[in-house]
């Protein structure tokens, strides 16, 4: 007769009480997950999160209270979870999982890793560390009503990077408020600003500098102090952006100076943010009026497709503020406006504000037409979605601990029921992609660039770190001499940074051997020289595998060759059951706080260009091999009615 401990078999219950697991992220999904784990019987848990608690977190991250604002999420989550199970052993780290201290040996101490992350870079990193340590990883993500959970196991399933991901559409608040690096960041900020000034105010849509940005203050006490200070400046009670704007009569020049001069100057005092970034440049209305060019547009063409000069943007900002102020007054006291991209004054306001911010942060400005096409729908974080996904993570973890990896599934949570009237749609895990540049036995890619224009710094930062997610790459040229192009040792090859690749004899057909010892990851890069890249495009990755003749049949030596993270991992390490997908926010959607994970995630949220995802959902724009199989079998998940071009998930 089977012995039970509560609802679990005794053997499984004993396993839960002794195994050690890692939770990466203590936000929306992380809070629910931590609570679920201790109540299920997990006793040895480590949780890591770099973030601090913001007021806007309190509506869904229930382990936090107002008194915790400014404190470490990981530490407070630990303390709150212990109230559910005081006998649990929980260790909290207020740190980045990408810190070199958390190396392969650190990961090997766990029997299982569970991601509750908010960005693709961290997901890529944890994926590689789990592959290197040969530890099962459960990925997860949410975006509004959508969610996904998947399991990743080396040699058995797709890894997080087996399928290409769409451009990230979710961004942390500190990126929007403090360190925008892409035009979409500025457009989101401008839409938030519209609501703060003219619409319904939302704590999740704050636009002022984020004083509790964890990157600006690495000391938890400093972060907490800043968060507290942000609520009160001495004895001066801070008022909302809307209240302040009303007190000025919506004076466009005063608004301009507050948003584009004073706030930017304040950001400059957060000097840690600008050690590795180009600092923003404040704007002054009067200086621009007196010295700036008076031509309001640059170039010709249709009005909406013209790029406005800085002064032209200033005039558009002024005119749109005055028009919106009049519209607000006509609606009466306490009225609110609703942003609509088809409403001319609202669209003008967002275009002007977004472009002025782009200019301040040294980005190329966009036409009104471009801004309108990028300004999509914003999906709010929903607490119940996080709760469902966290529960599914625990269920998958129980399968893994029971030794039933073959029964694990990728599970989609959909907004509308499937044809079988199910909101939860399980899919069999996909096998590893043979051409994956991360988990293949010999990872290899081809990069197309102009060797006479591409610098070593571009190769390091834009290609290896940003595109391929490396942390500390070492680069050696396969030129017969073993020339070291980039070293992860600080300062060792800095003199090479601004030299062109051609200066080192790199040309069409050259091969670069890349090693990231932190991630226990190697990659061979084939250089394809071209002078025909589009304007402002520095490089292109040719497919997901190099352009070359079909590889020869492997010989015995190749079969036994070293794979990333393991010398004998060319063969599956456990059963034959297949594997997972990923993407971001929704696992295959990239999101802000509880991002997502695998290739099938594309089915849950965002478009993907992978070959196996050529079948695309007409309404969601998503495509995935798993969704395709489900469609063919008649058990497809219903479309999700997200028909906007840009989906920005806040959790």
Task: Determine the pLDDT at residue 213.
Answer: 64
Q: Annotated binding residue at 119?
A: yes
Q: Annotated binding residue at 25?
A: yes
How large is the average pLDDT for residues 149-161? Answer: 95
Q: Annotated binding residue at 638?
A: no
Q: Annotated binding residue at 511?
A: no
How large is the average pLDDT for residues 560-572? Answer: 37
Q: Annotated binding residue at 49?
A: yes
Q: Annotated binding residue at 60?
A: yes
* Model confidence at 207: pLDDT above 60: yes
How large is the average pLDDT for residues 242-262? Answer: 91
Q: Annotated binding residue at 597?
A: no
Q: Annotated binding residue at 408?
A: no
User: Are residues 590 and 138 in contact, defined by beta-carbon separation less than 8 angstroms?
Assistant: no
Confidence grade of residue 265 (pLDDT, cut at 50, 70, 90):
very high
* Model confidence at 28: pLDDT above 80: yes
* Model confidence at 531: pLDDT above 80: yes
Task: Determine the pLDDT at residue 274.
Answer: 87
Give the chain's end-to-end CA distance (angstroms, integer): 45
Q: Annotated binding residue at 120?
A: yes
Q: Closest by alpha carbon to 241, among 267, 270, 209, 213?
A: 209
Lowest mean pLDDT among 277-286, 414-423, 473-482, 590-599: 590-599
Q: Annotated binding residue at 41?
A: no
Q: Strand 89-93 relative to strand 44-48: parallel, antiparallel, unpaired?
A: parallel
| Pairwise CA distance, residues 586 & 610, whole Å | 17
Give the model confidence (pLDDT) of 289-304 as tens digits.
Answer: 887 556 666 655 677 7
Q: Annotated binding residue at 58?
A: yes
**174 a catalytic residue:** yes
* Model confidence at 112: pLDDT above 90: yes
- For 367-435, what is the HEC assignment? CHHHHHHHCCEEECCCHHHHHHHHHHHHHHHHHHHCCCHHHCEEEEECCCCCCCCCCEEEEECCCCCCC
Confidence grade of residue 62 (pLDDT, cut at 50, 70, 90):
very high
Q: Annotated binding residue at 6?
A: no
DSSP conformation class of 228: H
Confidence grade of residue 577 (pLDDT, cut at 50, 70, 90):
very low
Task: Report helix, strand or coil for 159.
Answer: coil
| Pairwise CA distance, residues 329 & 7, whole Å | 61
Quickly count: other Cβ atoms within 10 Å of residue 424's Cβ: 16
Whole-angstrom CA distances from 453 to 50, 88, 121, 465, 509 are 37, 56, 27, 19, 16
| Pairwise CA distance, residues 651 & 648, whole Å | 9
Q: Annotated binding residue at 97?
A: yes
Q: Annotated binding residue at 118?
A: yes
Q: Is the pTM of this model over 0.85?
A: no
Give the model confidence (pLDDT) of 476-527 as tens digits.
Answer: 999 888 899 999 998 899 999 999 999 999 999 999 999 998 888 999 999 9
Q: Annotated binding residue at 439?
A: yes
* Model confidence at 455: pLDDT above 60: yes
Confidence grade of residue 6 (pLDDT, cut at 50, 70, 90):
confident
Q: Annotated binding residue at 312?
A: no
* Model confidence at 63: pLDDT above 50: yes
| Pairwise CA distance, residues 448 & 465, whole Å | 17
How large is the average pLDDT for residues 367-378? Answer: 77
Task: Determine the pLDDT at residue 340.
Answer: 83
* Model confidence at 424: pLDDT above 80: yes
Task: Determine the pLDDT at residue 293.
Answer: 58
Confidence grade of residue 125 (pLDDT, cut at 50, 70, 90):
very high
**326, two tokens:** 């009049």
From the candidates 31, 85, 174, 314, give the one annotated as an active-site residue.
174
Q: Annotated binding residue at 132?
A: no
* Model confidence at 547: pLDDT above 90: no
């Amino acid at each position: 007769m089977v012995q039970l401990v509560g609802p679990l078999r005794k053997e499984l219950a004993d396993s839960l009480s002794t195994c050690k697991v890692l939770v990466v992220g203590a936000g929306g999904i992380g809070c629910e997950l931590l609570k679920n784990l201790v109540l299920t019987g997990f006793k040895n848990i480590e949780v890591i999160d770099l973030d601090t608690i913001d007021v806007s977190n309190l509506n869904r991250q229930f382990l936090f209270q107002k008194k915790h604002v400014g404190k470490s999420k990981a530490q407070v989550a630990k303390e709150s979870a212990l109230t559910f199970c005081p006998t649990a052993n929980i260790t909290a780290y207020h740190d980045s999982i990408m810190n070199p201290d958390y190396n392969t040996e650190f990961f090997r101490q766990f029997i299982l890793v569970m991601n509750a992350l908010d960005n693709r870079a961290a997901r890529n990193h944890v994926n590689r560390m789990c592959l290197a340590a040969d530890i099962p990883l459960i990925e997860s993500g949410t975006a509004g009503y959508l969610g996904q959970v998947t399991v990743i196991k080396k040699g058995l399933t797709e890894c997080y990077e087996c399928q290409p991901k769409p451009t990230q559409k979710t961004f942390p608040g500190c990126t929007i408020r403090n360190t925008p690096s892409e035009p979409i960041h500025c457009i989101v900020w401008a839409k938030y600003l519209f609501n703060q000034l003219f619409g319904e105010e939302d704590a999740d849509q704050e636009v002022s500098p984020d004083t509790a940005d964890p990157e600006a203050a690495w000391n938890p006490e400093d972060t907490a102090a800043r968060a507290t200070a942000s609520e009160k400046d001495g004895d001066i009670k801070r008022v909302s952006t809307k209240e302040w704007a009303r007190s000025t009569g919506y004076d466009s020049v005063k608004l301009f100076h507050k948003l584009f001069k004073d706030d930017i100057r304040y950001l400059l005092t957060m000097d840690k943010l600008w050690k590795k970034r180009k600092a923003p440049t404040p704007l002054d209305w009067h200086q621009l009026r007196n010295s700036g060019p008076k031509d309001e547009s640059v170039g010709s063409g249709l009005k909406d497709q013209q790029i406005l000069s800085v002064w032209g943007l200033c005039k558009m900002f002024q005119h749109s503020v005055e028009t919106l102020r009049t519209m607000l007054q006509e609606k009466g006291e306490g009225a609110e406006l609703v942003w609509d991209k088809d409403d001319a004054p609202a669209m003008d306001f967002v275009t002007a504000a977004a472009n002025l911010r782009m200019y301040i942060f040294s980005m190329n400005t966009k036409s009104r037409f471009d801004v309108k096409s990028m300004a999509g729908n914003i999906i709010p974080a929903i607490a119940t979605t996080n709760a469902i996904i966290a529960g599914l993570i625990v269920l998958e973890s129980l399968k893994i601990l029971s030794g039933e990896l073959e029964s694990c599934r990728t599970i989609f949570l959909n907004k509308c029921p499937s044809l079988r009237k199910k909101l939860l749609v399980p899919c069999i895990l996909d096998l590893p992609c043979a051409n994956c540049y991360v988990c293949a036995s010999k990872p290899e890619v081809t990069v197309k660039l102009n060797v006479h224009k591409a610098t070593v710094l571009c190769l390091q930062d834009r290609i290896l770190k940003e595109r391929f997610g490396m942390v500390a790459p070492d680069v050696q040229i396969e030129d017969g001499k073993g020339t070291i192009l980039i070293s992860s040792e600080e300062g060792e090859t800095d003199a090479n940074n601004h030299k062109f690749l051609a200066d080192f004899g790199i040309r069409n057909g050259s091969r670069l051997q890349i090693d990231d010892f932190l991630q226990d990851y190697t990659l061979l890069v084939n250089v394809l020289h071209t002078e025909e890249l589009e304007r402002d495009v520095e490089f292109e990755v040719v497919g997901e595998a190099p352009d070359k003749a079909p590889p020869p049949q492997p010989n015995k030596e190749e079969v036994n060759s070293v794979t990333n993270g393991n010398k004998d991992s060319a063969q599956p390490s456990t059963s034959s059951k297949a594997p997972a997908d990923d993407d971001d926010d929704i696992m295959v959607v990239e999101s802000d706080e509880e991002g997502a994970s695998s290739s099938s995630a594309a089915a849950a949220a965002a478009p993907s260009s992978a070959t196996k995802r050529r079948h695309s959902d007409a309404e969601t724009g998503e495509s995935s091999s798993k969704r395709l199989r489900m469609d063919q079998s008649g058990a497809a998940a219903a479309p999700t009615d997200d028909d906007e071009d840009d989906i920005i998930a806040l959790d």
